């Protein structure tokens, strides 16, 4: 995982997931979790992008 991916995982989790996996269910889940709370979105982004 690059430094850019780590920073995007922390700052904008849906964008990090989108750049790694494209527009799909993983992105939508990340977007939903980030809207529900920033921390769940960050945790999911790290989980998916690792």
The pLDDT tens digits for 1-50 are: 799 999 999 999 999 999 999 999 999 999 999 999 999 999 999 999 98
Range of the domain at 20: 3-49
Give me the pLDDT at residue 1, please: 76
Looking at 1-50, list the stretches that DSSP marks H as alpha helix, in order from N- to C-terminal side: 3-11, 13-21, 25-36, 38-49
Indicate the pTM of the whole model. 0.91
Integer CA distances (angstroms), 44 to 8, 30, in order = 12, 7
> What total number of domains does the chain contain?
1
Give me the pLDDT at residue 4, please: 94
Please name the residues in contact with 26: beta carbons below 8 A apart, sequence gap of 6 or more.
17, 48
Give me the pLDDT at residue 6, please: 95
Note whether 15 and 43 are within 8 A (CB): no
Give me the pLDDT at residue 41, please: 96
């Amino acid at each position: 995982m690059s430094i850019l991916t780590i920073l995007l995982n922390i700052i904008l989790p849906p964008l990090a997931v989108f750049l790694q996996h494209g527009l799909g269910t993983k992105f939508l889940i990340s977007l939903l979790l980030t809207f529900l709370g920033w921390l769940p979105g960050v945790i999911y982004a790290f989980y998916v992008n690792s």
